[in-house]
Structure 1
Amino acid sequence: MPGHEIAQTISLITGVAISPLLGVGAVGAWEYYHAGTAEERARLHWYANPWFWGPALLLVAICFIKDTAGTALPTALKKPFDIADAVENKISGLVATGAFVPLAASIFETPPADGAWLSSMGFAAIDASWTYNIVAIPLAMVAFVLVFLASNAINVLILLSPFTTVDLALKTLRTAVLGSVVATAWINPWVGAVWALILIVAAYFISGWSFRLSHTGLVFIWDFLTLRQRRFRPQAGGARLFLSRKIEKVPARTYGTLSRDAEGRLAFTYRPWLILPERTITLPAGQYEAGRGLFYSEILRVDGNETRTVILLPPRYLGHEEELVKLYGLSGTRDVGFRAAWSWFRNTVKGRATAAPA
């Protein structure tokens, strides 16, 4: 078995999963420039075509400029570019999962010379390489998806973060992890493979968190791109939203519906992993309000002067906070996040007495 190639493939798939467009584009460019003749280049895979890896790497360069220069931009101006970046990441990840990883994982081949040598020695030449590929390709795809979900979760955190400094820290972390995979594989393929396996195992243990966060990002991006809030109308008992914090062992970012139970309490119904049987929990008793944000809204639990975000509302609910108050019997609405900060600043300039935003 080609152990050296196995080690390289493990690092390759892990690196591509962290940044699919950069990874596939870089591999394609490397294979293209290392093909010695026109005939060899003609036999290369689709991702080694300059018409693919050229625009791919150009788009990566544009994203890099956006990430480095964008820290000086206000959050409201930078978020549309972050949304575009997140869309690109999801699309390239899907393409890489189905069209790149199986090709990269198909490393087991039996050269014709080996079969001829075995035949000359009186042994039947049995080509078992296809059995290796049957095992290797699914495992490679699972490993890719695990690491991709973890990497994509960072993109979602960047999308949800209201602070450019946090965005920069998250992007630096992602780049550092990708750089560590490339560096260790370059120093020694086996060291690189071990480090890549450590990352894959770590991605497995946070896969639930990564999945929930990735699904949150997908819903938010879809609402942003389709301007869904313009045609959306909240319905009683059918509000689909996300938990903002862990409640009764149900983790944050769990997707479900909000309703009032027979006793008038707010209840949250969800399906683990979106497909398992339904479960229902009751939200803690208290006073709840709808919070109006700049990019998305929230449902807050108010306790005196303190508020805690309990529910994250997808962007489709922007502008519909008053309807939610009526449908679910909430106590009222208030500005949150940047909207609250702007209201405080505006009222301060006008000389009105207001409390500073929390």
Structure 2
Amino acid sequence: MKSVYLDNAATTAVRPEVIERMTNVLKENFGNPSSTHSFGRSSKVLLEQCRKNIASYFNASAQEIIFTSGGTEADNLAMRSAVRDLGVNEIITSRIEHHAVLHTAEQLKDEYGIKISIVEIDSIGLVDYAHLDTLLKASDKALVSLMHINNEIGTMLDLEKVATLCQSHGALFHTDTVQSIGHFKLDLEKLPIDFMAASAHKFHGPKGIGFCFVRKESGLKPIIFGGEQERGVRAGTESVHNIVGMDEALKIAYANIDTESKYILGLKSYFIKKLKTEVPGVTFNGACLDFDKSTYTLVNVCLPIAPEKAPILQFQLDLKGIACSKGSACQSGSGKQSHVLTAILSDEDLKKPSVRFSFSVYNTRDELDYVIDILKEFAKS
């Protein structure tokens, strides 16, 4: 039996070069970066060099990069402080955001009585920009929170259009870029984004580390207290080896982005073409078939399988050594229907099994052939 990992939107394999660099840091740079002795200073120098490196990939300044435990914390930092400290009384978001955003928004509504407005989306998950403009015109002090790439269906937001709209209406713009950092180039000097969340394990770095881009002089204040680390915005001893791992993973990702993105897009294109041929009746959720409006890293597939067989599909794939996902890894164990698919699919299509296959540079066409053969047989039986 083969072992095929096609759940890279959930997490990615750590690159060997990243592991090697992290191991060296664990051995040689174990000092607390807040300590004033030579061991601490050595770690601090390493930490700040990584901050500068990471900022440079996005044309940002080092002071705008705040290290966090990952994307969820970064989302919470931006959203909670915006409401508590920056005068935001309305959050404008969509029904298909990650739960790190949706649940945080609901909690802030309970705590502070803010208004939550939902921007309309179409059947492939694209934001209605005219409706967003209407919501912004009617707002007082809003925070718009919309993700760059949807983690389940891969549909992409026009960041420039949304950022410009927000700027013209005096609104703040927060975007979850967990699925795009390391896969797409973003220039934060040109894009008027206020807050941006990232997580290293989505681009072949370690888990438990990420960052929040915080536009300088935004006024953002901490949600975790205890120390003056991260310029007073995020208390807690920095995880130096993880930060170094994230820096190394980003360095490799952006050094090879042209060749690797072309290779992965080739996998996606091949997978779609062969699925259409081998599994008649297959459809694709979101904007997967429009390569200009969706990420090259994933495909969400609705399979022509009887509803009574749908619950065992993922179990059968797992038995065959195939790792994929029916939705976000953060909710896949809940047994609930995906809130993203519920928002865009018909009741009839919701009865069919939808599966997310997400690719990396470590995947091959032979692996995709194996997966398609399994899907073909399951659909026939």
Q: Could you say whether these structures have the same fold, taking a TM-score greater than 0.5 normalized by the shorter chain as the test?
A: no
Q: Larger RCO: Structure 1 or Structure 2 (Cα < 8 Å, ≥ 6 residues apart)? A: 2
Q: If you compute each CA radius of gyration, which structure gives the higher value, 1 or 2?
A: 1
Normalising TM by the smaller chain, what interval?
Answer: under 0.3
TM-score by length of 1: 0.27
